Amino acid sequence: MPDSPRTTAAITSVGTYLPPDRLTNADLEKMVDTNDEWIRSRTGISERRILRDPDKATAFMATEAARQCLDKAGVAPDQVDCILVATVTPDMLFPATACLVQDALGATKAWGYDISAACSGFLFALTTGAKLVESGMHQRVLVIGADTMSRIVDYTDRATCVIFGDGAGAVLLEAATDGTGLLDAVHHVDGTGAGSLRQPGGGSMRPATHETVDARLHYLKQDGRAVFKRAVVGMAEAAAEIMERNDLAPDDIRYLVPHQANLRIIEATARRMGLGADKVMVNIEHYGNTTAATLPLCLGDWEGQLRAGDNLVLAAFGGGFTWGATWLKWAYDGSE
């Protein structure tokens, strides 16, 4: 008897949401002691999108991205089985942002939860969602990466405020038996890096008090140099590991889809993989680092150029530390 084809989870649609307001390097020059030249040469960023409406937050952006994703696929919200939201900026510590998205979408049959893995959140959520589909447990899983970083960034700290932006992206996972879909993934965490990138206040260790707020502990803190050193190695090694163990040569890869933390980290990863700039998705210039949203925002921006069978390597590194890479064979022809 011939082997029955392997069931994989394929991305069958992508949706994105970016808030309309832009925060440019020129705007930041008026807020902190920085300049456009420093920001562009050190990070590759020119502007970021900011969600200004105080009555909207991560669940709003996640819902908008998910709605676009489902509309494009012609899938009704009540056909979704599960919603996974990768975020470090949930609307509230609980309930999960996934619950708010489920309600706003009207995804009446779906369950779901949030995944907290900082900039690797979407990558980890993608693997989790894929396993729910591959196992036969579910037919349709929405995987969303969404972060409103502007709400936890300290706009008096020039070392972090220039980096981050807001945005959301969503993908729909459905079963495939044609060889497309998520084919392999490597994931890592190293909690010894927890002190290098964190939001110290507002959790159960330092609940919000006047003192924690006065000490600005509710804002993101980063030791940029320490994170940079680990990110360069982590992303490049994970991407190389995915290539080596699947016998993928540079010519086999259509695109590297890297987390958009810093252009220099992206370039180092591409070099390690032997890829030229034409094979690397880069949109950091316009959005900055949107944490869990960077990978699906790239997929959304490049969807029109993707063809069924294209090999993509997704790679990310983030707070935790968390990092990894995924081999994905694209499932459909995009339209420009």
Smallest gap from Cβ 115 to ligand ACO, in A, equals 13
CA distances from 37 to 48, 271, 286 (A): 16, 24, 15
What is the contact surface with ligand ACO in residues (CB under 6 A)? 34, 38-39, 42-43, 118-119, 158-159, 162-163, 197, 224-225, 227-228, 231, 261-262, 265, 289, 291, 317-319
Quick one: 80 or 297, whose CB is closer to ligand ACO?
297
Smallest gap from Cβ 122 to ligand ACO, in A, equals 11
Q: Would you call 119 a catalytic residue per the annotation?
A: yes
Quick one: 56 or 158, whose CB is closer to ligand ACO?
158
Smallest gap from Cβ 262 to ligand ACO, in A, equals 4
Q: Would you call 289 a catalytic residue per the annotation?
A: yes
Q: Which of 69, 138, 289, 298 is catalytic?
A: 289
Quick one: 26 or 137, whose CB is closer to ligand ACO?
26
Q: Which of 69, 82, 138, 259 is catalytic?
A: 259
Smallest gap from Cβ 237 to ligand ACO, in A, equals 15
Quick one: 141 or 149, whose CB is closer to ligand ACO?
149
Smallest gap from Cβ 230 to ligand ACO, in A, equals 8
Phi-psi region of 106 (alpha: psi -120 to 50; beta: other; left: phi over 0): left
Spatial CA neighbour of 289 closest among 160, 197, 125, 186: 160
Quick one: 87 or 102, whose CB is closer to ligand ACO?
87
Smallest gap from Cβ 228 to ligand ACO, in A, equals 4
Report residue 85 as tokens.
């939201």
Q: Would you call 82 a catalytic residue per the annotation?
A: no
Q: Which of 69, 119, 161, 298 is catalytic?
A: 119
Active-site residue list: 119, 259, 289
